């Protein structure tokens, strides 16, 4: 049996099933209903968010045997031809692989011909910002005087690269990146319908990895379900992506916050032993800390990338760890990440950073060093060669907290003291 990709099979065929783009969909449906469809649209937004699918549903609605209608039946000859990419009236061109002036000229030569089957011709030009200047100008000519029976849908992931003269002739729609929960819900719907057994945590991870792209999310689910035995598990996803479980991120954060150096280092050792990519681990840890940082002030931003199954753990940790501590960890880990990317040994960078974070290690302050140097210079000038007394060094700010565990045992030294004593 020929394998049809989940993405193709589950491509939306009605406005209703286009997820996460309600304002766009509502406006287009209304335009068909009232007979006020524009001659040129510009759809911009991240890849995989439904730009081309929306263009096709628009084309179906305009050309449906039971239309024009915002609810194309999907069963008439015209609808089926559009779904199968065989319609003579709906032409799709990918400017990314096809930047040529020839194609646009060819399009221009045919633009005045009446539609063969349906009412309207719909030209979909994907990644329109990739067209050459010549091709852009030819397109502009067509947009200036579009024939009655033509609708252009220009799609782009980089709107800022589209000429303003083009934009001004189009009705623009911005496609938003859908939140992780919405993508995970969609994957759940597909998995259930396709009888793919899948753990909720697995779908959340796939959804997050897809970064807002339905196409990527469905592609990953496809890959996992068709090339491996048994149900789609969180562990299977982690193996495929090389990522770590969310409880590892929670655990590491707690260890760093509570100054449990050995526990934090053990996580690194374990992941490294499992052959995990440690740069990726640090990246995921920073992303986790970012969510902790944002949660108190902008929960909707913080939770956009979080699955329903991960929410409680995140909220509990955010309520417990002060934001200043989280920021301190983000800064240190961000530095480690950039050093690793510049060719540093990722394991060593992570270990060093964890050690510094867990022990409250601080670089000697520059202003203290400068003051000592000035005193020394003055002493040399005055011919006083014996070493001057250094000005009293100001201590850096004390850590903002002590770990809950340690404050409960008052006789124990705080994390700062232990660090210096060792």
Residue 61 touches Zn ion, criterion: CB under 5 A: no
CB 305 within 8 A of CB 291: yes
CB of 18 to Zn ion, least distance (A): 17
CB of 223 to Zn ion, least distance (A): 33
- Closer residue to Zn ion, CB minimum distance, 79 or 264: 79
d(CA 291, CA 299): 8
- Closer residue to Zn ion, CB minimum distance, 118 or 179: 118
Number of residues lying near Zn ion (CB under 5 A): 5
CB of 25 to Zn ion, least distance (A): 18
- Closer residue to Zn ion, CB minimum distance, 82 or 289: 82
Residue 122 touches Zn ion, criterion: CB under 5 A: no
- Closer residue to Zn ion, CB minimum distance, 79 or 201: 79
CB of 175 to Zn ion, least distance (A): 24
- Closer residue to Zn ion, CB minimum distance, 85 or 338: 85
- Closer residue to Zn ion, CB minimum distance, 72 or 212: 72
Instruction: Tokens for 220, please give them.
Output: 């990953």
One of 72, 178, 179, 236 touching Zn ion (CB under 5 A): 72
CB of 13 to Zn ion, least distance (A): 10
**Of 73-81, 99-107, 116-124, 284-292, which segment contacts Zn ion by CB under 5 A?**
73-81
**Sheet with 121-126: strands ordered across:** 90-94, 121-126, 150-156, 40-44, 171-174
- Closer residue to Zn ion, CB minimum distance, 74 or 399: 74
Residue 245 touches Zn ion, criterion: CB under 5 A: no
Instruction: Tokens for 314, please give them.
Output: 């995140």
- Closer residue to Zn ion, CB minimum distance, 79 or 130: 79
Binding to Zn ion by CB under 5 A, coded x per residue (else -) over 168-187, reads: --------------------
- Closer residue to Zn ion, CB minimum distance, 80 or 406: 80
Residue 79 touches Zn ion, criterion: CB under 5 A: yes
One of 71, 73, 199, 277 touching Zn ion (CB under 5 A): 73
- Sign for the pseudo-dihedral over CA of 136, 139, 145, 151: negative
One of 76, 182, 241, 375 touching Zn ion (CB under 5 A): 76
**Of 1-9, 32-40, 59-67, 305-313, which segment contacts Zn ion by CB under 5 A?**
59-67
Residue 64 touches Zn ion, criterion: CB under 5 A: yes
**Of 57-65, 127-135, 140-148, 314-322, which segment contacts Zn ion by CB under 5 A?**
57-65
**Of 75-83, 118-126, 357-365, 371-379, which segment contacts Zn ion by CB under 5 A?**
75-83
Give the residues lining the site for Zn ion (CB under 5 A).
64, 72-73, 76, 79
């Amino acid at each position: 049996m020929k394998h049809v990709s989940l993405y193709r099979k589950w491509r939306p065929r009605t406005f209703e099933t286009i997820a996460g783009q309600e304002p766009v969909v509502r406006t287009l449906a209304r335009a068909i209903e009232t007979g006020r469809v524009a001659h040129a649209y510009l759809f911009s937004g991240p890849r995989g968010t439904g730009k081309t699918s929306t263009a096709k549903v628009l084309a179906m609605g305009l050309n449906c045997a039971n239309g024009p209608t915002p609810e194309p039946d999907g069963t008439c000859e015209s609808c089926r031809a559009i779904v199968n990419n065989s319609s003579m009236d709906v032409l799709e061109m990918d400017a990314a692989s096809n930047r040529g002036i020839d194609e646009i000229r060819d399009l221009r030569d045919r633009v005045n011909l009446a539609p063969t089957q349906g009412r309207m011709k719909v030209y979909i030009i994907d990644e329109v910002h990739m067209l050459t200047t010549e091709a852009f100008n030819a397109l502009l000519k067509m947009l200036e005087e579009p024939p009655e029976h033509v609708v252009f849908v220009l799609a782009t992931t980089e709107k800022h690269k589209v000429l303003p003269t083009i934009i001004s002739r189009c009705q623009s729609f911005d496609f938003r990146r859908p939140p992780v929960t919405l993508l995970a819900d969609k994957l759940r719907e597909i998995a259930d319908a396709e009888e793919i057994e899948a753990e909720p945590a697995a779908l959340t991870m796939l959804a997050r990895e897809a970064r807002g792209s339905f196409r990527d999310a469905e592609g990953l689910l496809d890959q996992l379900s068709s090339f491996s035995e048994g149900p789609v598990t969180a562990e299977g996803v982690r193996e495929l992506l090389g990522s770590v479980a969310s409880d590892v991120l929670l655990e590491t954060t707690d260890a760093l916050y509570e100054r449990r150096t050995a526990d934090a280092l053990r996580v690194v050792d374990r992941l490294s032993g499992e052959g995990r990519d440690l740069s990726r681990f640090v990246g995921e840890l920073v992303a986790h800390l970012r969510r902790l940082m944002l949660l108190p002030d902008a929960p909707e931003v913080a939770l956009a990338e979080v699955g329903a199954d991960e929410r409680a753990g995140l909220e509990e940790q955010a309520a417990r760890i002060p934001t200043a501590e989280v920021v301190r960890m983000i800064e240190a880990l961000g530095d480690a990440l950039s050093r690793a990317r510049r060719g540093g040994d990722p394991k060593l960078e992570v270990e060093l950073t964890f050690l510094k974070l867990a022990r409250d290690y601080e670089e000697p302050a520059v202003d203290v060093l400068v003051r000592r140097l000035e005193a020394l210079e003055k002493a040399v000038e005055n011919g006083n060669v014996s070493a001057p007394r250094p000005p009293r060094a100001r201590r850096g700010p004390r850590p903002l907290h002590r770990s809950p565990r340690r404050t409960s045992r008052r006789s124990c030294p705080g994390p700062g003291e232990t660090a210096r004593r060792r």
